[in-house]
Structure 1
């Protein structure tokens, strides 16, 4: 059992390295089986590849599927990514209220980018009434 876990870790590390060095075909080959077995890190990267057509044909339904799968596991970058998908209507129906929820979940994990996105939405009143005080607090928390 231990060897299988080590092998999966090695494949995940190799897949992430391939993704980060823009070897997307190799990344897809390494990360797909891991995503299928529940790796949030692999699922997130597959979502990015499908969303942007990196090494694969662009596929919004698959991008959404994998981003949601990773976000359900509370993987911070996926929470942040799903927030943008809902905010922009990219891969998901545009929904500011849902975007706010996902950005808040990512901000709770300390992701500065999510804090800034959340602050901007609160400042502009997207997804609810404008809330300049909360916006200011998130900007400050993000380091601005």
Structure 2
């Protein structure tokens, strides 16, 4: 299929050679097939090639390939461009563009973009502060099992910021974040437990125990 020009097959073959899956690892063959997929403008290949260029500090070229993939709605490239504009990597820092790209990636379903969009709304980076929108995106990522978002939405419920205060939900999310080793989550869990009665604690523990990630 790759020989016949199928870009997805070319990219997958590059990954197999890169990782040595089913064949001996062969970086030269991996590069050859990824280049073929890049020539076909296959978004994952464009993205991976851009990352290799970023590693070599060839930022301008990398951004060009990322933009090509982002225009094809490839969420990982949209997110990476957002971070590039946020931290001024090879370009001046641009909060507005950073927000626009990360918002696109979040709406495309990239969970870490959803978490970062929540942070942007929380901090007023590239957009006006909006506690309700921040909580919405944090909870969306938290529901999908993203631990940092679980820690953040726990605080939102604990303070009633952007959502109605709910100690049960706050403790549930703190328990889940603590299980993943998120810094400060254990202390947060202890704080919520100290201000809750036994019945509410038991309810929160049950919710945490029965939590299942949403797709």
Which of 1 and 2 has greater Rg? 2
What whole-Å deviation, never above 9, does each CA across 1:47-87 have from its counterpart, x for those lacking one? 11112212211112211111111111111011001000001
The 1:23/1:108 distance shift into structure 2, 3 A limit, reads farther
Runs of 5+ in structure 2 lacking a partner?
A: 12-36, 180-185, 187-215
Q: Quote the residue 1:103 is aligned against.
A: 138
Q: Quote the residue 2:72 is aligned against.
A: 37
Q: Does 1:2 pair with 2:37? A: no
Asked if structure 2 preserves the Cα contact closer than 8 Å seen for 1:24 and 1:54, the reply is no
The 1:123/1:24 distance shift into structure 2, 3 A limit, reads farther
Structure 1 ranges of 4+ moved more than 3 A: 16-19, 21-24
Q: TM-score if structure 1 supplies the norm length?
A: 0.88
Give SS of 1:58's match: coil
Aligned length: 143
Task: Report the Cα offset of residue 18 of structure 1.
Answer: 4.6
What whole-Å deviation, never above 9, does each CA across 1:88-118 have from its counterpart, x for those lacking one? 1111110011000001111121100000011
Higher RCO (Cα < 8 Å, 6 or more apart): 1
The 1:122/1:128 distance shift into structure 2, 3 A limit, reads same
Matches of 1:62 and 1:98, distance apart in 2: 18
Matches of 2:168 and 2:73, distance apart in 1: 39
Matches of 1:22 and 1:121, distance apart in 2: 40
Task: Report the Cα offset of residue 22 of structure 1.
Answer: 7.9
Task: Report the Cα offset of residue 121 of structure 1.
Answer: 1.6
Matches of 2:161 and 2:131, distance apart in 1: 6
Counterpart selection for 2:48 from 9, 13, 21 = 13
Counterpart selection for 1:129 from 156, 164, 171 = 164
